[in-house]
């Protein structure tokens, strides 16, 4: 009898790094959580350290089950520069055949089950990923918080701050957005637009601070605030427009209602956002309920 074999899968994002060790039957033998490892956010040295520590922890977990255990394959699904992660993958030893791919693949797998279709995903950022009729994988958006990412937590927070500042300046009618944004700064009720602006500009991690406002925007919209609802419509509609361009390019002549199309992430699967998207999309959008790490596990199994 040969030594037991395992596979490793990693879903590495900007917020967290989730890792699994899978045995030959597909059972998750070990699970690890680590901080986010996007090199564009934490730097390349820290990204290497986070993932290397996680990999070594999973290798030790395999050997604790059986000292003769070995890793046959490792798949990295990572946020950040593909060149960096490909170089990192090629540097690894003791982890079998190592490949690196984008962090969009696990949620695309969950949405389409390996079939032609697409997924719209939103977290701190957003993207559209698609699998064409020949099995090719395509990626749209995901430009990062500095350049947009409509439908994302960051984009909702950015739009809310913009609205709040104009309200505080007196150029827009007051709504619940202004006080909500101002209160999030802890500056007090007397804070004016200049003080709120300085607060966000001086933060060392403005993308996270701004994205943290998204739940409040969703809550206000669900409570009937028209301004918050309008922000969601503006933001989510841009992501739907991007998805429509992807469909037109990749699936010309295919009835859109026959395509598998998923919504992934806490923003897009929120009831308010789904209500906004439904009448604006020609696609049969279905929420993805499984977590991305389950998509990683399925991709590991797909490779046999």
What domains are there in the chain, each with its CATH number? 5-102 (3.30.420.40), 112-289 (3.30.420.40)
Task: Give the tens place of pLDDT for each residue, 20-76.
Answer: 999 999 999 999 999 999 998 899 999 999 999 999 999 999 999 889 899 999 999
Residue length of the chain: 304
**Measured distance CA(46)–CA(56) in Å, rounded:** 15
Q: What is the pLDDT of residues 206-264, one digit of tens each?
A: 888 999 999 999 999 999 999 999 999 999 999 999 999 999 999 999 998 889 999 99
What is the pairing mode between strands 260-264 and 70-78?
unpaired
Q: Which residues contact 12 (CB under 8 A, 6 or more apart)?
A: 18, 36, 37, 38, 47, 51, 76, 77, 78, 79, 80, 103
Tens of pLDDT, residue by residue over 261-304, are 999 999 999 999 999 999 988 899 999 999 999 999 999 998 76
Predicted local distance difference test score (pLDDT) of residue 286: 94
What is the model's pLDDT at position 89? 97
Helix (H) or strand (E) holding 238: helix 226-250
Per-residue confidence (pLDDT) for residue 107, from 0 to 100: 95
Pairing outcome for strands 117-122 and 260-264: parallel
pLDDT at residue number 15: 82
**Span 193-213, pLDDT tens digits:** 999 999 999 988 888 899 999
205 backbone dihedrals φ, ψ, rounded to 5°: -125, 70
pLDDT digits (tens, 9 = 90+) for 143-195: 887 887 999 999 999 999 999 999 999 999 999 999 999 999 999 999 999 99
pLDDT more than 90, % of the chain:
84
Give bridge partners of residue 6 from the DSSP assignment.
Answer: 23, 71
Residue 2 predicted with pLDDT over 80: no
pLDDT (tens digit, 9 = 90+) per residue, 82-112?
999 999 999 999 999 999 999 999 999 999 9
User: Hunting for tokens 């059972």 — which residue is that?
Assistant: 27
Residues 6+ apart with CB under 8 A from 279: none
- At CA 151, angle to CA 248 and CA 216, rounded to 5? 160
- The interaxial angle of helices 153-169 and 214-222, nearest 10 deg, is 70
Q: pLDDT tens across 112-135, in order?
A: 999 999 999 998 889 999 999 999
Looking at per-residue pLDDT, the higher value among 236 and 3 belongs to 236
- Average pLDDT taken over every residue of the chain: 93
pLDDT at 304: 61
């Amino acid at each position: 009898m040969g030594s037991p074999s395992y596979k490793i899968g990693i879903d590495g994002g900007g917020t967290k790094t989730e890792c699994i060790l899978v045995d030959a039957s597909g059972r998750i033998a070990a699970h690890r959580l680590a901080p986010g490892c996007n090199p564009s956010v934490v730097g390349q040295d820290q990204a290497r350290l986070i993932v290397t520590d996680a990999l070594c922890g999973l290798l030790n977990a395999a050997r604790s089950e059986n000292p003769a255990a070995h890793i046959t394959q490792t798949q990295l699904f990572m946020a950040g520069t593909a060149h960096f992660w490909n170089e990192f993958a090629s540097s690894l030893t003791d982890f079998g055949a190592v490949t690196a791919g984008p962090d969009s693949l696990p949620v695309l797998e969950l949405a389409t089950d390996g079939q032609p279709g697409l997924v719209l995903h939103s977290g701190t950022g957003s993207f559209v990923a698609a699998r064409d009729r020949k099995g090719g994988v395509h990626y749209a958006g995901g430009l990062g918080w500095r350049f947009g990412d409509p439908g994302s937590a960051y984009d909702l927070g950015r739009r809310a701050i913009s609205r709040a500042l104009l309200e505080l300046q007196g150029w827009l009618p007051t709504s619940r957005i202004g006080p909500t944004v101002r209160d999030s700064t802890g500056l007090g009720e007397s804070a004016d637009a200049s003080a709120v602006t300085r607060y966000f500009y001086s933060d060392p991690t403005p993308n996270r601070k701004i994205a943290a406002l998204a739940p409040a925007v969703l809550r206000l919209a669900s409570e009937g605030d028209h301004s918050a609802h309008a922000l969601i419509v503006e933001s989510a509609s841009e992501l739907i427009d991007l998805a429509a361009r992807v469909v037109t390019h990749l699936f010309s002549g295919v009835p859109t209602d026959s395509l598998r199309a998923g919504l992934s992430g806490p923003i897009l699967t929120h009831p308010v956002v789904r209500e906004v998207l439904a009448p604006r999309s020609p696609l049969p959008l279905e929420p993805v309920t499984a977590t991305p790490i389950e998509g990683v596990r399925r991709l590991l199994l797909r490779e046999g």
